[in-house]
Amino acid sequence: MPKKYQVPVKAAPPRFKPIGKYTTIEFREDCAGSCRKCVKKACIYNIFKDNYKHVAHMAEPEYLYACQSCFRCVQECTRGIFSRVINPEYRSLGDDYWQADVIHRTWYQAHTGKIPVSGAGYRGPFVGEGFDSMWTDMSEIVRPTRDGIHGREYINTGIELSRRNSRLSFSEDGSPVDGMPPVFEIPVPVMLRQPKFGVLSENVLQAAVRAAYFLGTMFFINPEYYSANLARFADCLVPCLSKHNYIDFLERAPGIRMMELSYDNESGKIISGLRALKTGLIISAGVPLNSEAASRAVELAECGADTIHFYADSRGRELDSENPRFIKEMIREVHLRLVGKLIRNRVNLVFSGGIAMAEHVAKAIICGADGVTIDIPLLIALECRLCYRCRDDKACPVKIGDINPDWGKQRIINLVGAWRNQLIEVMGAMGIREARRLRGEVGRSMWFEDLEKENFGPIFGEKKVSGLV
């Protein structure tokens, strides 16, 4: 029996004090000072133990990064000296998609490697745009001793990146006519990608590449950032090349097992030539996620690509459109087009853009993806605050470029480990034991748009959007 895949996580404390969500306001003048069991000592999350301003004189409100908002201290203090308010600096984190709560949750997972469970429960919106309008079906949950991260049954999160034959042909002596194609598998459906912005120093790249190598997943890198220092990690590197530089790069980096070729009209011919040039090379095609994505997927699948990698924008929106659709609708369109052509099982689909939380991985796979790649979460794991100062050549407030690669590696490993555990919990609650079985299983999900139309359409009629019914 193969060894069970696990991600070993360990605490990687932040270098800078994170911006906490809550501010503790403590009215010290009303403190009795004689409670045998002060609520600060009784905090089950040890928040006050780890924050030393409460020991000294409270000169200013304290931002509690790890506070779980259970409000026990507020309710149980005999003198009622505690109150909570939102940290005003917290509100300025990120933007309207990469929101402060997403950043805060990612920091916690990169720090601890644990699933971010809050004492106050889920406090997000009931429904929203994008992935927030999609819910997963947990109806098969039975008992935690069998399912999930603490269960006895093994849940496989591995996916393939190599091409699969739709049928086998045999000769008269029973041997395969075309031979068996090599199988290239990674143990998690999450791959890493070089961010388009940020402080991309050698230390940052080393941290991300080492993490990908340790996890057994892949790292998509621009060829100009490849160096001799990364050559020993060639097994996990996927250079993103064009028709103008792919031959020179493959000669310069012979250890590369997988490459990505940016799409153009000659991609089909180049892929056929690459098969003859380097046997066993896994070929991915990089395609912008626009209105032509589905038709290009069919073309590339028929041309022999192993994997097709679609790129949405950083907020998961369709490219080159005045009314862009969200990535979940685009995944569904591409997947169903290949299903309709009876070639879906030949090729693997990977999607980038807007994958901000662990739940987005499961939902993307349900929509029809084989796997996803992440970039901005890698920066957030390294304490990025998404202030975008680096775009204006201003100094980074947390000095990401100066990180210790070993520390950065562990932070990224912790994040992927926490995301994988959440995927396992979702799959266990669905009764699914293989990530590959989750692909395209929209019957195990609920979409708000469909529920709204089904329940309220007969009463109020169909909603009109942009003048179209």
Same domain, 302 and 196: yes
Q: Which domain holds residue 206?
A: 159-166+180-451
**Beta strand 371-374 pairing with 348-352:** parallel
> 91: helix, coil or strand?
helix
Same domain, 82 and 186: no
> Is 208 inside any structural domain?
yes
Domain end marker among 42, 62, 92: 92
Which helix H or strand E contains 73, and what residues bound it?
A: helix 72-76
> Is 154 inside any structural domain?
no
Two tokens at 407?
């520390």
| CATH number where 431 lies | 3.20.20.70
> Is 32 inside any structural domain?
yes
Same domain, 286 and 188: yes
Domain count, the chain: 2
> 464: helix, coil or strand?
coil
CA atoms within 13 A on the CB side of 451: 9
Q: CB of 61 within 8 A of CB of 24? A: yes
* List of residues 6+ apart from 96 with CB closer than 8 A: none
How confident is the prediction along the chain (469 residues), in pLDDT tens digits per residue?
A: 356 788 999 999 999 988 888 776 767 666 776 677 788 777 877 777 655 444 444 445 555 666 767 778 888 888 787 777 788 888 888 889 999 999 999 999 999 999 987 666 666 778 888 999 999 888 776 666 666 787 778 899 999 999 877 667 777 787 776 666 678 999 999 999 999 887 788 999 999 999 999 999 999 999 999 988 898 999 999 999 998 899 889 888 888 999 999 998 888 888 888 877 777 899 999 999 999 999 999 999 999 899 999 999 999 999 999 999 999 999 999 999 999 999 999 999 999 999 999 999 999 999 999 999 999 999 999 999 998 888 888 898 999 999 999 999 999 999 999 999 999 989 988 888 899 999 999 998 999 888 888 888 788 776 654 444 3
- Answer positive or negative: Cα dihedral of 24, 30, 34, 35: negative
Distance CA 219, CA 229 (A): 15
Two tokens at 80?
């009622």
What does 208-230 look like in DSSP terms, one character per residue?
Answer: HHHHHHHHT--EEE-GGG--GGG
* List of residues 6+ apart from 49 with CB closer than 8 A: 41, 43
